[in-house]
Structure 1
Amino acid sequence: MTEIKRRPPDFIKKILVFDEHLSKKFVLWGNSFAPLHSLRVHYKALEITCHGIPWLAFWIAFTWLFDNSHLVQLQVNMLLALVLDILIIAIAKAYFRRKRPQGNKNDAFAEIGPDHFSFPSGHCSRAALVTFIFIVLWPLPVIFYPSLFAWTVALALSRVLMERHHILDVLGGIIFGILEGLLLCLLWIPQDTALWLINYVSNEKYDGGE
């Protein structure tokens, strides 16, 4: 039995073609200032700074090793946010199944499953989500905001310049990340519940989590 290939509507095709054309022009323009090969190592470093596996591993270790009751709510909710982001982006990629740009090299860090698809950018969704958390849900001092925005913008630009993604993939990822942040506002785990969860899965006993 032959599989019926899903075809997007004509107006979507036109948007995608225009996006591909605009993305190529942007890459050429960016490379006119600094050749891609000279910055690729920096782009790949940015890629790792927002990959799902290192983030998840770091926060699990951070939650396990740093038993500070004042950080428990952030730790638990960040883990929830990361898992939520990974699941939503994986489902979205599997649904849209957009191919990566032709110029993409198959040298991405730990690319598995739906990661082979392009829309939306999981790196950008994660960066937008983390920025949302540290500005809206667990506000850091304002002095850190420029660094958060600079990291998110630099990451987004690098994804296009590396030809990992088209421009719409990056914009879509940022929108997904913001929407995930809004969803997290509804799912945000309060301090007492976070303490109870940590007490339940570990031997540590925090006040208020009994």
Structure 2
Amino acid sequence: MPGSQARNRVRDRNNVQNRPEFLSLNQPPRREHAAGEGRGAGGPRRPVFRQQSQQEDAGGRGPKESSEGGPAADGGPKDASRWPEQDCMQLNPTFRGIAINSLLAIDISLSKRLGMCVGAHSPGAPLRSMVNLLAFTGHAFPWMCGTLLCLWRSNTLAGQEVLVNLLLALCLDLMTVAGMQKLVKRKGPWDYPPGLLDYLAMDIYSFPAAHASRAVMVCKFLLNHLVLAVPLRILLYLWAFLVGVSRVLLGKHHLSDVGCGFALGFLHFSLVESVWLDSATCQTLISFGTFRWTPLV
């Protein structure tokens, strides 16, 4: 008898259907009655069918599904199906995005290296005062004040016509660049706070470079309306270029900011030339400004 009992135990152990995890598949669903359901009403009791296999599956698979982002996780299976696609989009950027990011990285790196006159201990510290003076020649404050002073001292109609159009070009350049800087809000390579004159000229942000735009616009304007010798014309081109470079040396602008400023200044000059105000219109504007307007005369 003991030998037969041992053989039965071995047979039961080897039988797959007797294992605990497979017992729920072999047993029929148990019929349980809800406690207290329908007892007071006198009606038939409603049976509740439960399957032990569903309970075991829910208990064993619940943590896995929740950890793997299945139905138990927040967002549902639809969000889980979207995650791989979003990851692929982030890990595989387009060629255009790679090119733009690479150019921006090169621009920032070169602009920081060229900022040799940024601080008092920088390599170009001895030239800092001269570079600041060169950058000041492209500021809006001296050009606006100088144009108004020359317009007040001018006595010829031709001179007043040129000066009024130059003043309008300076105002156009100032407002356009200030609006674009406010819209883009790009910081400089060294992110130094702007000075008092920069606040007066609304030159707070980096893109585009206001000094570069103004220098090119003034350079083209003077070369087109003044008779200058060849050496002076070359010096005027050189001055416009050095004004833009000085802002990079001071760490105020990136190279791309200066390049876009040059292009914007040329567009401002072309726009002013296309809407050039004649002498009569300029005299009317001057009369408005000096309060000597006589409309009936």
Structure 2 length-normalised TM: 0.58
Instruction: Look up the match of 2:260.
Output: 172
The within-5 A match list for 1:1-210 is 10=97, 11-27=99-115, 35-102=123-190, 105-106=192-193, 108=195, 110-112=197-199, 114-136=202-224, 138-143=225-230, 144-202=232-290
The amino acid of 2:282's aligned partner reads A
| SS at structure 2 position matched to 1:92 | helix
Question: 2:247 & 2:199 partners in 1: Cα distance?
Answer: 17
| SS at structure 1 position matched to 2:155 | coil
Tell me the alpha carbon deviations over residues 132-190 of structure 1, each in whole angstroms, 9 at most, x when there is no partner. Answer: 11123x13323321121121111121111111111111111100000111111112111
Question: 2:194 & 2:187 partners in 1: Cα distance?
Answer: 16
Q: 1:63 to 1:76 in 2, by over 3 A?
A: same
| SS at structure 2 position matched to 1:111 | helix
Kindly state the Cα deviation for residue 26 of structure 1 after the two structures are TM-superposed: 3.5
Residues paired across the two proteins, number:
191
Consecutive unaligned residues in structure 1, runs of 5 or more: 1-8, 29-33
| SS at structure 1 position matched to 2:221 | helix
Q: 1:109 to 1:151 in 2, by over 3 A?
A: farther
Kindly state the Cα deviation for residue 81 of structure 1 after the two structures are TM-superposed: 0.3
Question: 1:170 & 1:38 partners in 2: Cα distance?
Answer: 23
Q: 1:86 to 1:177 in 2, by over 3 A?
A: same
The amino acid of 2:134's aligned partner reads L
Question: 1:120 & 1:84 partners in 2: Cα distance?
Answer: 14
Kindly state the Cα deviation for residue 83 of structure 1 after the two structures are TM-superposed: 0.3
The amino acid of 1:84's aligned partner reads L
Question: 1:168 & 1:116 partners in 2: Cα distance?
Answer: 17
The amino acid of 1:58's aligned partner reads G
Kindly state the Cα deviation for residue 63 of structure 1 after the two structures are TM-superposed: 1.1
Asked if structure 2 preserves the Cα contact closer than 8 Å seen for 1:100 and 1:116, the reply is: no
Asked if structure 1 preserves the Cα contact closer than 8 Å seen for 2:131 and 2:246, the reply is: yes
Tell me the alpha carbon deviations over residues 73-122 of structure 1, each in whole angstroms, 9 at most, x when there is no partner. Answer: 111001100000001101111111111112x5446451228522101100
Consecutive unaligned residues in structure 2, runs of 5 or more: 1-95, 117-121
**Greater Cα shift, 45-54 or 108-117:** 108-117
Question: 1:106 & 1:91 partners in 2: Cα distance?
Answer: 19
* Bigger relative CO (Cα 8 Å, ≥ 6 apart): 1
Kindly state the Cα deviation for residue 203 of structure 1 after the two structures are TM-superposed: 6.8
The amino acid of 2:147's aligned partner reads W
Q: RMSD over aligned Cα, in angstroms? A: 2.4
| SS at structure 1 position matched to 2:252 | coil
Instruction: Look up the match of 1:3.
Output: none
**Greater Cα shift, 71-80 or 12-21:** 12-21
The amino acid of 1:45's aligned partner reads L
**Greater Cα shift, 151-160 or 12-21:** 12-21
Larger Rg: 2
Sequence identity percentage: 28
Kindly state the Cα deviation for residue 15 of structure 1 after the two structures are TM-superposed: 2.4
